[in-house]
Copies of this chain bind each other. A is one copy, B any other.
Amino acid sequence: MSQTAQDERLTERELAVWRELLDTTSELRRLLSAELQQVELSPGDYAVLLALTEADGNALRSSELADAIDWERSRLSHHLGRMENRGAIVVLTADGLDAIRRASGPHLRAVKRLFADALEPEQIDNLAEALASIRKNLGSNNSTEGGHA
């Protein structure tokens, strides 16, 4: 499945990179979340709206939406309820479209600024390759089984 020795312990180096991966992505999520807050959306809101925008006819069945953003059904259900309370959107209405349109420009600029601008094309390739290897390994590995929740 994997290319490196399976039998040895995790090295200091590997552990350090692992922690750095967790810390860095946490920080990125935090900053992007703050960015989105300026247009009154949570990261969850954004994920939901984005998935709907990208779907055919701007609509998805609940379970399809859950799959698209890889959420548990119950989490989605609660979240949609909250969005409704806030006068937000379940299936993309004019308001919903408006919200995501207002958000996506700043959001994408933030992703570029915080992430893409930091990396050379080759680094992007390397990162993509590393993530693909991890993914591939998750598929064949995974004691908890199943893939996701």
A134 touches B115 (CB 8 A): yes
Main SS class of interface, A: helix
**Number of copies of this protein chain within its complex:** 2
B116 touches A18 (CB 8 A): yes
Whether A28 is near chain B, meaning CB under 8 Å from some CB there, is: yes
Interface size band for A: 35 or more
Whether A20 is near chain B, meaning CB under 8 Å from some CB there, is: yes
Binding site for B on A (CB under 8 A): 1-4, 6, 9-11, 13-18, 20-31, 34-35, 70, 108-121, 123-124, 126-138, 141-144, 148-149
In whole angstroms, how far apart are the Cα atoms of A87 and B14 in the complex?
Answer: 33
B133 touches A129 (CB 8 A): no
